[in-house]
Amino acid sequence: TAGITQAPTSQILAAGRSMTLRCTQDMRHNAMYWYRQDLGLGLRLIHYSNTAGTTGKGEVPDGYSVSRANTDDFPLTLASAVPSQTSVYFCASSDFGATDTQYFGPGTRLTVL
Amino acid sequence: QKEVEQNSGPLSVPEGAIASLNCTYSDRGSQSFFWYRQYSGKSPELIMSIYSNGDKEDGRFTAQLNKASQYVSLLIRDSQPSDSATYLCAVGNRDDKIIFGKGTRLHILP
């Protein structure tokens, strides 16, 4: 099985442009997460979804939005990118919540100029 | 603010020795504890999970949990150069959120 896939692998984006990072899992996990990872700051939760149809805000949600129309897909949208959103973005999933192992996708490296 | 603290390292350990990685957490109600390994440029992958006080062993890896001291550790026996990576401690708290530490860089010296 593929597990979790993310697209694109990397992207350079002009400030002010919008972009959607895609995340798909084939494990039928209930919960999905979006993190950003920055040097010296570790993994920070942006948004999460405990089950299809629900979403919640994490530690750093400003400037990002998510949707969870079905179990498998959890896209992350930047409506108007800013340079501070330059980061590596990881999507993850788990069968339950914080008590369960999270499985990570390969990541998307985003540079906003 | 619920926190998970780790020494950033780098922690240098000779090949064949025991590497000891430590993590403290602030939320006394935390219920689940994880160690992830992350190679440079790659995504985190689970090494160990632990939910009860005491030790849990899996091959060369042992996780230790002490809830009274709010302390979790990971021991790697017979360290290999392939163990060189960043190790992330993660804690699932009572709000059903998982908090990651910033990671400890481990370098195994051949």
pLDDT tens, A7-20? 999 999 999 999 99
In terms of DSSP bridges, do strands B85-92 and B45-50 run parallel, antiparallel, or are they unpaired?
unpaired
Share of chain B above pLDDT 90, in %: 88
What is d(CA B53, CA A45) in angstroms, rounded to the nearest whole number? 27
How far apart are the C-alpha atoms of A44 and B44, rounded to whole Å? 13
CB contact under 8 A, A99 and B31: yes
Mean pLDDT on B77-87: 97
Question: What span, in angstroms and rounded, lies between the C-alpha atoms of A27 and B89?
Answer: 24
Q: Which residue in chain A has the smallest CA separation from B1?
A: A59
Burial letters A89-112, b for 16+ CB under 10 A, else e:
bbbbbbeebbebbbbbbebbebeb
Q: Using 50, 70 and 90 to split pLDDT, how confident is the model at B49? A: very high
The CA angle A39-A93-A44, to the nearest 5 degrees, is 25
Could you tell me which residues are beta bridge partners of residue B107? B12
Would the pLDDT of B1 be above 70? Answer: no
Task: Check pLDDT > 60 for residue A72.
Answer: yes
Instruction: Return the SS3 of B38.
Output: strand
pLDDT band at B54 (very low <50, low <70, confident <90, very high): very high
Q: What is the least distance, in Å, from the CA of A106 to any CA of chain B?
A: 5
Which residues in chain A touch residue B31, judged by CB atoms under 8 angstroms apart? Answer: 98-99
Model confidence at A75: pLDDT above 60 = yes
**Alpha-carbon span A108 to A95, nearest angstrom:** 22
Structure-token pair, residue A97? 């919540």
State yes or no: pLDDT of A2 exceeds 80: no
How many Cα atoms within 13 Å fall on the side-chain side of residue A77?
8
Write out pLDDT tens, residues A14-42: 999 999 999 999 999 999 999 999 988 88
Mean residue pLDDT across chain A: 94
Q: Give B17's pLDDT tier (boundaries 50, 70, 90).
A: very high
Distance CA B36, CA B48 (A): 7
A104 touches chain B (CB under 8 A): yes
pLDDT at A1 over 80: no
CB contact under 8 A, A100 and B32: yes
CA distance A32 to A45: 11
* Percentage of residues in chain B having pLDDT higher than 70: 99
